[in-house]
Amino acid sequence: MNKTSKIVLATITVLVVVVGIIVSCFNIELSKVNKVKIEKNNSELNISNNAAKKDDEITNIAFFGIDRRYKGEASRSDALMILTIDKKHKKIKISSVMRDAYVNIDGYGMTKINHAYAYGGPMMSIKTLNKNFDLNIKDYVTVDFLGFEKIIDSVGGVEVNITPAELKYVNSNTDENSENGDAAASIVTNSGLQKVNGRQALKYTRIRENDGGDFERTERERTVLIHVLNKIKKVPPTDMIGLVSELLPYTETNMSNTNILKMLTSIYTLGIKDIGEQRFPLDGYCDGKMIDNVWYLMFDLNATKNQMHKYIFEDIKPNSIK
């Protein structure tokens, strides 16, 4: 073996060892995630033959923000989003689903979509999304109130533009969702563009008392999540292990270590720069209705399904004017 061949062989050996060490470190950190096993069979998850044939360059992951304050507490999905990793169009897309949307839940009939999590956890919620909107979701990530706070603090806070109308609600009951309810409230003193911490961001996203109600609430949720994702995208690959070790312990998922690693890697290798966002159902395609003294969001299911598919799979932004 000549000198050049020895150098090449030594270089390849070093690279293999380095990659092996990095992967091992990731696996160690990923072991900190709260893993929950759910069925991934198409029929068990209400994935139709049509949905199963969708472009495999587009991966949909359910994201649930649940209203759990303490471990073991029965919870509903306070925030319900679909996170799309779109390798075809080199985008990340966030689609909110209104939590009061009137849908069909297996075994329970027509009711609010956020009840699915309380009825059967993440699997029932995934089945409900797939059944009503003909999607192909198999994986999920769940974050509760405390986890949300910790994640925001771990990335150094996020910038949001707080309106004067929102200011009073950000400062009301700021400590209600803290661990054991005994942490000091974090007060926001002024409206306008500013950096907020985890506690403040949680209260900001949960405002629903203003005129926009849940419609604006979902917009705030997407705004905060986009800021977090943008911060993650800017982290150098060499620092990703450290970030993973900070963030993932506050989440729950059924994703394998391999799939998590692939998802994180794709953000770098594909050069994904754009993060899009949308809310479903759209204005003009939904209307509130009282049924047995309970408020539900009725909507045009077929139109919403079509708009959602065009956005998620074809990257066509829907028009909210009916």
Residue by residue, what is the 3-state secondary structure of 123-165? HHHHHHHHHHHCCCCCEEEEECHHHHHHHHHHCCCEEEEECHH
Question: Within this chain, do residues 5 and 93 fall inside the same structural domain, yes or no?
Answer: no
Statement: residue 140 has pLDDT above 60: yes
Q: How high does pLDDT run on average in the chain?
A: 83
Mean pLDDT of the region 202-209? 84
Question: Within this chain, do residues 211 and 84 fall inside the same structural domain, yes or no?
Answer: yes
Question: Within this chain, do residues 17 and 98 fall inside the same structural domain, yes or no?
Answer: no
pLDDT tens figures, 253-274: 998 877 877 777 777 777 777 8
Residue that wins the pLDDT comparison between 183 and 224 = 224
pLDDT tens figures, 61-95: 999 998 776 666 666 778 899 999 998 998 999 99
Closest-CA residue to 47 (of 165, 150, 142, 128): 128
| Structural domain includes residue 192 | yes
pLDDT at position 315: 94
CB of 140 closer than 8 Å to CB of 62: yes
- HSE, CB side, 13 Å, CA atoms: give it for residue 89: 20
Helix axes 145-154, 240-247, angle to 10 degrees: 150
Statement: residue 34 has pLDDT above 60: yes
Residues whose CB falls within 8 Å of the CB of residue 30, separated by 6 or more in sequence, listed in order = 244, 248, 257, 260, 261
Residue whose entry in the numeric block shows the structure tokens 């829907």: 318
Question: Within this chain, do residues 186 and 74 fall inside the same structural domain, yes or no?
Answer: yes
| Structural domain includes residue 248 | yes
Range(s) of the domain holding residue 7:
1-31
| Structural domain includes residue 95 | yes
Residue whose entry in the numeric block shows the structure tokens 């970030």: 243
Enumerate helices (H) and strands (E) in the chain, giving the number of each.
Answer: 10, 13
Confidence bin at 214 (pLDDT 50/70/90): confident
pLDDT at position 18: 46
Residues whose CB falls within 8 Å of the CB of residue 51, separated by 6 or more in sequence, listed in order = 130, 134, 135, 136
Tally of domains in the chain: 2
CB of 94 closer than 8 Å to CB of 276: yes
Burial class (CB in 10 A: 0-12, 13-18, 19+), 278: buried
pLDDT at position 13: 56
Q: Which two tokens stand for residue 108?
A: 């329970």
Question: Within this chain, do residues 37 and 24 fall inside the same structural domain, yes or no?
Answer: no
Question: Within this chain, do residues 72 and 178 fall inside the same structural domain, yes or no?
Answer: yes
Question: Within this chain, do residues 194 and 265 fall inside the same structural domain, yes or no?
Answer: yes
Mean pLDDT of the region 271-281? 87
| Structural domain includes residue 115 | yes
| Structural domain includes residue 296 | yes
Question: Within this chain, do residues 226 and 287 fall inside the same structural domain, yes or no?
Answer: yes
CATH number at residue 158: 3.40.630.190
Statement: residue 183 has pLDDT above 50: no
Task: Give the C-alpha separation, 31 to 34, whole Å.
Answer: 8
Task: Give the C-alpha separation, 211 to 199, whole Å.
Answer: 23
Task: Give the C-alpha separation, 31 to 149, whole Å.
Answer: 21
pLDDT at position 129: 98
| Structural domain includes residue 322 | no
| Structural domain includes residue 320 | no
Question: Within this chain, do residues 260 and 140 fall inside the same structural domain, yes or no?
Answer: yes
Question: Within this chain, do residues 22 and 144 fall inside the same structural domain, yes or no?
Answer: no
| Structural domain includes residue 144 | yes
Question: Within this chain, do residues 155 and 11 fall inside the same structural domain, yes or no?
Answer: no
Question: Within this chain, do residues 42 and 97 fall inside the same structural domain, yes or no?
Answer: yes
Statement: residue 161 has pLDDT above 80: yes
